[in-house]
Amino acid sequence: MAPPSLPQSLGRLPRGSQPQRSQAFDLPAVTAAVGLARRNVRRLLDRWGIGEEAVDNAVLVTSELVTNAVMHTVSDRVVCRVSADGRRLRIEVQDENLGGTLPARRRPAPDDQSGRGLVLVDVLCSDWGVRDAPQGAGRVVWAELSPEPAEAELSPQPDETAATGPPAAPATTPHLRPAPQPAEGPPPHGPNARH
């Protein structure tokens, strides 16, 4: 089996201030493809200058969509397409849909170990859906997010500051992510506990 391909450009950029960017890559429909899809999307969006939070969300959405294609269809390959045009960031995952099922949001029980993928996609995305692939070659699950710019693009350029004066103080505190918490749980007890 050949190794998975790296993202390849899909064509020229159209005219306009926010260029349309598109890339696609295909992967074998195996569980190891999920991690490779995440890495490919992260590298691609970092190169495009997409902001950190949008990249993190797009990577999570990609992970969920590729996982669903691998786990819930009988596909041999999946194709990931990523596009951005300044207004939206679109992730598409095409499977061969040999299983014939449609993706559907579930209501997992609190103790369920799976079933939250499309719930996460619904929360993180402005829109998502399913369409048939061209020539009946499977189905495409797509999701759209807002591609906030990277921090460097948010700060005014030197000539902008002179024309508009100093930047105003933010009205609210910036959005900060909570610090990660250890997942170790309570300290172990008993004769085999390490101290």
How far is Cα 52 from Cα 148, in angstroms, rounded to an integer?
8
Q: Closest Cα partner for 58 from 92, 26, 21?
A: 92
Give the pLDDT band of residue 14 (cuts 50, 70, 90).
very low
Res 4 pLDDT > 60: no
How far is Cα 92 from Cα 126, in angstroms, rounded to an integer?
14
pLDDT at 9: 45
Q: In what order do the strands lie in the sheet with 77-84?
A: 8-9, 21-28, 77-84, 89-95, 139-145, 127-132
| Confidence (pTM) | 0.62
- Please give the domain boundaries of the chain with CATH numbers for all domains: 19-107+114-151 (3.30.565.10)
CA atoms within 13 A on the CB side of 62: 32
